[in-house]
Structure 1
Amino acid sequence: MSILQYKWLLIFLACRHVQADLRVSTQDLTVPVNGQNTYQLYLTDELSEDVTILIEAQHIDLVRTEPSSFLITRENQTGNWTITVLGLSAGYVTLSSNVTPSTNIIFSDAYVRVIVEKSDVLYHVSAVVGWVYFLAWSISFYPQIYSNYKRKSVVGLNFDFLSLNIVGFIMYALFNCGLYWIPTVEQEYFSRYPKGLNPVQVNDIFFALHAVFATAITILQCFIYERGNQRVSTTARIIHGAFAIFILISIILSLLDTITWLDFLYYCSYVKLAITLIKYVPQAFYNYKRKSTVGWSIGNIFLDFTGGTLSMLQMILNAYNYDDWESIFGDPTKFGLGFFSVAFDIFFIIQHYVLYRRGFATRRSAVYFSMSCFQGSSRVHETAWRLS
C-alpha cells in the first residue's frame, strides 16, 4: 500500500512540474522600413508561477518591438500575446524570447527571423527575376540537344565539357536531395544552425535533377550520332579521378562517423563549385583549335548568359533591398561564379560572331556550292546538315 502511495506522490509532483512550451505563430516575418508587422506568442500549458517575457533583438538598430517585455501571471496565462515589430532600418535580425524565471518553461523555439526591407516592389521584382533566370537556365540545355539531333552529329561539342558537366550536376543533385529529403541530414543542419533556414527549395531540386537528365540525353547523343575522333581527354580523366578519390574518402569518413553526412554533402557542393570554374575551358580551347564554333550551340550560350546575368541582378536587388552587401562582397563565391560563367558566355559569343565568323561563313558557302553542283546527292545533303 505504501508503494502505491509513493507512485501517486511521484505522479502528483511530476504534474506540478510539467514544463510549458513558449511558441510563436511564425518564425519568419517581413517588415517594411518605417512600417510594422505582428506575430503571436502563446503557451502550450499552464504555469505554476509568474514569469516575465523579454523580447530581445539581435540588432537593436534594425527593429523595435512593442511590448519589449511583459508579465504572465498564473491568473492570466490564456490566449495569445501579440508582439508588434517596427522596422527601423533594412537588414536581417532575429528576435529571441527570454523567460525569467525559466524553471518550468521551454522557450528555445520562441524566436522569429525578421527581414526588414526597403521596398515591397523590389521584393516582387526580385522574385520575378528569380523565376525568369530559373526558366532560362532550365531550358538552356535544349538548343544543344536540338542542334545535335538536326545535324545527326556531335562534332564541335567538347566531350571534356560534357563529362565535367554531368559530374557537377550529379554532385549538385546529391547536395539538394540529401539536404531536402533526408530527415537526419536536415536535423544535422538545424543542429549546426539552430535559427537558420534550409537553403534548398523545391525548385533547386527540380533544376538539379532536370540538369542531370538533360546532360545525360546529350551524352547519349554522343554514342548515337557522328562524333569524329573526339573522346574524353587524359587531363579530364585525371581530374575525374581526383574528384572520385575525394568523394570516396569523404564517404568512408562519413561511414566511420569521422565527419557527418552533412559535411559529405558540403564536399559534394565544393566539387560542383570547382567544376563550374573549369568546365568551360575545354570547350573554349576546342573552339580555338578548330577556329570554329560549328556544333557548339549559340542558343545555349544566350540562355546561360541570360540566366547568369539575371542571377547576379537578383543578388544586387536583394543586397540593396535588405542592405546586405556583405552577401556579395563579404562572401563573393556565388556572385563570383555567376560572373565567371557570364564572362565565358561573352567569350563564346565573341568566338562565334567575331573571331571565327569568317570560318563559319566559309564552311556554309562551301556546302551551298557543293549542293548546287551535285543537287540530289544524299551524301551532300547529309554534309550540309552536319555543317549548318
Structure 2
Amino acid sequence: SMLAPLLLLLILCAGDAQIQVSTNVVDILVTERSGFSVSLTESSSKERVDVHPYEGEDVLASPGNLTFWLKENETRWINVSATRAGHAVISVNSADTEHFVTVNVFKVRWLNVLSAIFGWVYFVAWSVSFYPQIYLNWKRKSVVGLDFDFVFLNVTGFVAYSTFNLGIFFSTVVQEEYLSSHPSGAIPVQVNDIVFSLHATLATVITAIQCLIYERQNQTISLAARILLGALWLAALIFLLVTVAGVNPYTPWFTFLNFVSGVKLAITLIKYIPQAFFNFRRKSTIGWSIGNILLDFTGGVFSMLQMFVIAYNFDDWTSLFGNVTKFGLGVVSIGFDVLFMLQHYVFFSSHKKKSHPTPYAEALSSST
C-alpha cells in the first residue's frame, strides 16, 4: 500500500526543525545597537542553534559565537553592535537549516540620505539627457550631424548595462557569487540603476529608429563599427553558452556578467570617438545636441559623488571598484563631455552657421 510510506513521510516532515530569522538585513549606525530574532517552528523537540560571524568578524562587537537551544515556537533575540563601519555576515544554523544575516554598518545617518539624493539627481540628469537629441532630430526631421556609429554602439552598450544591473540586483545566485569575490562588499547596484539602464535602452532604441526614418544624407554605420558590434554580440552569445554548459565551476554567472559589464565599459571608452571625429571633420557641432552633453556631465559627476559617499560611509572602498561598469562609466563620460563642450563652445563655435547654410541653421545654432 502507498498509504504507509506517505504517512511516514508526513511524520518525518513534521519533525523537521525550521529555523527562521526575522530579517536578512540589519542596517545600523556604528554607535547604535540593533538585532534580529531567531525562532523555531515545526519541531517535536529542542533544537540546537549556532550563531557566529561568517564574514567581516572584525566589524562586529556582537554577537560573537553563540550556541543555545530553542523549543517549538520559542523566539530568541540576537543583539547586534559594531566596532567600526563596514559589512558583515552572520550565520544562523541548526542541524537542518542555515540562514545568513547581512549587517551594514554606516558612520553617519545623513550621508545615507545624501547618497540617495545624489542617486536620484544623476538618475534624472542622465535619463533626461537623451531627450534633447531626440527632440532635435524630430524638430529637424533629420539626423545629419549625428554619427551612426555612436548611436548603435550606444544601443548595444545600454543593453549590456541593463543585463548587468538586472543580473546583479535580482539573482540571489549572482549575489552569492559576488559576495564570494567581495566578502565584505555591498551589492553595487541600486534601484535607480535598474530604472535608468532600462529607460536608457529604450531611449537609445528610439534614437536608432530616428536614424532609419529621418533625412540622413549619405550617413551610415561604418564597416569597422559593424564588425565590432557583430564581434561583441557573438562573443556574448558564446560566453553565455559556455556559462550555461557549466564550464566555469566557480562563479560562472558573476563572471559572465563581468564580461557583459566589460562590454559596456569598452563601448563607453570608444563610442564617443566617432562623434568627436565627425564634429572635427565637419568643424561643426550642428546636429549634435549640447543639451545631451551638459546633462550627461551632470549625471556623471553626481554618480561619482554617490559612489564615494557610499564607500566612505560604509568604510568599504572595495565596493567602489566592485562595480567596474558604473565607476568606469563615470570617469570616461566626464572626460568626453568636457571634450564635447570644448568643441561646441570653443573650437567650433564660430563655424555653426557658415558650415551649414541651410534653412535650419539659425534654429539649430540656438537648439544646439
Fold shared, TM-score > 0.5 on shorter chain:
yes
Contact 1:57–1:63, Cα closer than 8 Å, also in 2 = no
Number of the residue aligned with 1:125 = 114
Number of the residue aligned with 1:372 = none
Contact 1:90–1:322, Cα closer than 8 Å, also in 2 = yes
- What letter matches 2:77 in structure 1? T
Distance 2:10 2:208 in 1: 70
| Cα distance change on mapping 1:81 and 1:341 into 2, 3 Å | same
| Cα distance change on mapping 1:227 and 1:25 into 2, 3 Å | same
Distance 2:32 2:76 in 1: 20
Contact 2:155–2:201, Cα closer than 8 Å, also in 1 = yes
The alignment partner of 2:219 has SS state of: coil
- What letter matches 2:286 in structure 1? V
Spell out the pairing of 1:62-77 with structure 2 (5 A cutoff). 62-65=59-62, 69-72=66-69, 76-77=71-72
| Cα distance change on mapping 1:386 and 1:190 into 2, 3 Å | closer
Spell out the pairing of 1:88-107 with structure 2 (5 A cutoff). 88-99=83-94, 102=95, 105-106=96-97
Contact 2:17–2:47, Cα closer than 8 Å, also in 1 = no
Q: Of residues 340, 343, 363 in structure 1, which corresponds to 2:354?
A: 363
- What letter matches 1:97 in structure 2? V
Distance 2:203 2:344 in 1: 24
The alignment partner of 2:43 has SS state of: coil
| Cα distance change on mapping 1:13 and 1:45 into 2, 3 Å | closer
- Alpha-carbon offset, residue 176 of structure 1: 4.5
Q: Of residues 313, 316, 326 in structure 1, which corresponds to 2:308?
A: 316
Distance 1:26 1:276 in 2: 39
Number of the residue aligned with 2:279 = 287
The alignment partner of 1:279 has SS state of: helix
TM-score when normalising by structure 1? 0.80
| Cα distance change on mapping 1:223 and 1:13 into 2, 3 Å | closer
Q: Of residues 89, 110, 123 in structure 2, which corresponds to 1:134?
A: 123
Distance 2:243 2:17 in 1: 37
The alignment partner of 2:57 has SS state of: coil
Q: CA RMSD in A?
A: 3.4
- What letter matches 2:267 in structure 1? I
- Alpha-carbon offset, residue 209 of structure 1: 2.9
Contact 1:153–1:386, Cα closer than 8 Å, also in 2 = no
- What letter matches 2:280 in structure 1? Y
| Cα distance change on mapping 1:92 and 1:53 into 2, 3 Å | same
- What letter matches 1:307 in structure 2? G
| 2:13 corresponds to 1:19 | no
Contact 1:151–1:387, Cα closer than 8 Å, also in 2 = no
Contact 2:41–2:72, Cα closer than 8 Å, also in 1 = no
Structure 2: where are the runs of 5+ without partners? none
| Cα distance change on mapping 1:316 and 1:206 into 2, 3 Å | closer
Number of the residue aligned with 2:76 = 81
Number of the residue aligned with 2:40 = 43
- What letter matches 1:25 in structure 2? S
Q: Of residues 343, 346, 351 in structure 1, which corresponds to 2:335?
A: 343
| Cα distance change on mapping 1:318 and 1:263 into 2, 3 Å | closer
Contact 1:152–1:386, Cα closer than 8 Å, also in 2 = no
Contact 1:55–1:65, Cα closer than 8 Å, also in 2 = no
Number of the residue aligned with 1:238 = 227
The alignment partner of 1:232 has SS state of: coil
| Cα distance change on mapping 1:336 and 1:169 into 2, 3 Å | closer
Contact 2:25–2:102, Cα closer than 8 Å, also in 1 = yes
How far does the alpha carbon of each residue in 1:233-261 deviate from its partner, in whole angstroms, 9 at most, with x for none?
12111211211321332354456555667
Number of the residue aligned with 2:174 = 189
| Cα distance change on mapping 1:34 and 1:264 into 2, 3 Å | closer
Contact 2:262–2:325, Cα closer than 8 Å, also in 1 = no
| Cα distance change on mapping 1:98 and 1:8 into 2, 3 Å | closer
Q: Of residues 232, 236, 240 in structure 2, which corresponds to 1:247?
A: 236
The alignment partner of 1:294 has SS state of: coil
Contact 1:50–1:72, Cα closer than 8 Å, also in 2 = yes
Distance 2:237 2:325 in 1: 25
| Cα distance change on mapping 1:191 and 1:50 into 2, 3 Å | closer
| Cα distance change on mapping 1:114 and 1:290 into 2, 3 Å | same
Distance 1:145 1:28 in 2: 42
Larger mean CA deviation between 111-120 and 198-207 belongs to 198-207
Aligned residues: 359
Contact 1:276–1:337, Cα closer than 8 Å, also in 2 = yes
- Alpha-carbon offset, residue 188 of structure 1: 4.0
- Alpha-carbon offset, residue 21 of structure 1: 2.0
How far does the alpha carbon of each residue in 1:330-376 deviate from its partner, in whole angstroms, 9 at most, with x for none?
7765323311111111111111111111212x539x96xxxxxxxxx
- Alpha-carbon offset, residue 292 of structure 1: 1.3
